[in-house]
Amino acid sequence: MSTVTVPNAIDTVFAELKARGETALIPFMTMGDPDLDTSVSLVQAAEAAGAHMIELGVPYSDPLADGPVIQRASERALKNRISLTDCISVASKARARGVQMPFILFSYFNPALQLGLETFFGLLKDNGFSGVIIPDLPLEEDAEARALAEAHGIHLIPLVAPTSEARVERIAAQAKGFVYCVSSLGVTGVRSTFHEGIDAFLSTVRRSASVPICVGFGISSREHAERFAGQCDGVIVGSAIVRQVEEALPLLTSSDATEKARGLAAVQQFIADLKPRATHS
């Protein structure tokens, strides 16, 4: 049976950015913090701020790879009983409101496993996702998910860490979409220094990968984004944005529409300010 290959939107966006000499800005947000409808509005705000694609984070009870900021966001979302399928639906709702950029789901493995991997990837496809990141599913365990992702036209985006060493080549060789380079040892969260071998690490990944490479974990300012802009194709900003959302919660949860709009505008401005200036090379 032959199928028509539709180009994945992630690949298309990276190709366009490369042609313009730009680095992708990829925000991360925890879905359902403070509620699903606000999440859809925040996704719109991110695009308006100039984000090129976005990671939609699924709250989880035991987020091993996350620091305190995203842990707190997850706890808030789980108090609202936000489910995996709720999070997935944010993509199609945002699309319906005119959002164009590619969607990437960020979820720990167990919620997807309990939903059933077939169903999970089917829903990702139906709701307009282009990629998925599963932080606790290393290469050794991802065979089934990788096959299903491919069958559904979804990129399973792998992580590599400064400690990956010899694994970098194997991971990068199979990567789809982009390689997510973890900037430092540790969990997600704002930090002032990166792993000392970060530059050598990024060039190793660059040499091994045939897809774009992006840097995440600890990136919280335009200075950080620009520091990496020349070495990679995109920067991922998570905790710093989730913390902005946390600080804007009184506004975002306000019943007064003007107040709420102020909250969204504050987050939007923060994201806009992260955007690295184009490298003119």
Partner 1 sequence: MSQVPDQHGRFGPFGGKYVPETLMNALIELEEAYEKYKDDPDFLEEVRYLLKQYSGRPTPLYYAERLSEQLGGAKIYLKREDLNHTGAHKINNTIGQAVLAKRMGKKKVIAETGAGQHGVATATVAALMGLECKVFMGEEDTKRQQLNVFRMKLLGSEVIPVLSGTRTLKDACNETLRYWVSHVDDTYYILGSVTGPHPYPMMVRDFQRIIGLEAREQIQEAEGRLPDVVVAAVGGGSNAIGIFHPFIDDKDVRLVGVEAAGRGVDTEEHAATMTKGRPGVFQGSMSYVLQDEGGQVLPAHSISAGLDYPGIGPEHAYLKDIKRAEYVPITDKEALDALSLLSRTEGIIPALESAHAIAQTLKIAPTMGKDEIIVVNLSGRGDKDVESIMSYLANEEGQQA
Q: Active-site positions? A: 55, 66
Minimum distance, C-beta of residue 21 to partner 1, in the bound complex (Å): 30
Residue from 46, 84, 211, 251 binding partner 1 (CB under 8 A): 84
Residue from 8, 44, 80, 83 binding partner 1 (CB under 8 A): 83
**Residue number with CB closer to partner 1 (167 or 206):** 167
Confirm or reject binding of residue 16 to partner 1 (CB under 8 A): no
Minimum distance, C-beta of residue 95 to partner 1, in the bound complex (Å): 23
Minimum distance, C-beta of residue 171 to partner 1, in the bound complex (Å): 8
**Residue number with CB closer to partner 1 (34 or 67):** 67
Of 10-18, 33-41, 131-139, 271-279: span binding partner 1 (CB under 8 A): 131-139
Residue from 9, 29, 91, 137 binding partner 1 (CB under 8 A): 137
Question: Residues touching partner 1: how many (CB under 8 A)?
Answer: 41
Written as six digits, the tokens of 122 are: 């089917």
Confirm or reject binding of residue 159 to partner 1 (CB under 8 A): yes
The three-point CA angle 141-182-27 to 5° equals: 105
Confirm or reject binding of residue 158 to partner 1 (CB under 8 A): yes
Confirm or reject binding of residue 42 to partner 1 (CB under 8 A): no
Confirm or reject binding of residue 264 to partner 1 (CB under 8 A): no
Confirm or reject binding of residue 88 to partner 1 (CB under 8 A): no
* Phi, psi (deg, nearest 5) at residue 132: -145, 140
**Residue number with CB closer to partner 1 (139 or 265):** 139
The full DSSP string for the chain is -----PPPHHHHHHHHHHHHT--EEEEEEETTSS-HHHHHHHHHHHHHTT-SSEEEEPP-SS-TT--HHHHHHHHHHHHTT--HHHHHHHHHHHHHTT--S-EEEE--HHHHHHH-HHHHHHHHHHTTEEEEE-TT--GGG-HHHHHHHHHTT-EEPPEE-TT-TTHHHHHHHH--S-EEEE-SSS-SS--S---TTHHHHHHHHHHH-SS-EEEESS--SHHHHHHHHTT-SEEEE-HHHHHHHHHTHHHHT-SSHHHHHHHHHHHHHHHHHHPPPPP--
**Residue number with CB closer to partner 1 (37 or 165):** 165
Confirm or reject binding of residue 161 to partner 1 (CB under 8 A): yes
Confirm or reject binding of residue 269 to partner 1 (CB under 8 A): no
8 Å CB contact between 188 and 70: yes
Contacts to partner 1 by CB under 8 A: 60-65, 67-68, 71, 75, 78, 83-84, 109-115, 135-141, 158-165, 167, 171, 182, 185-187
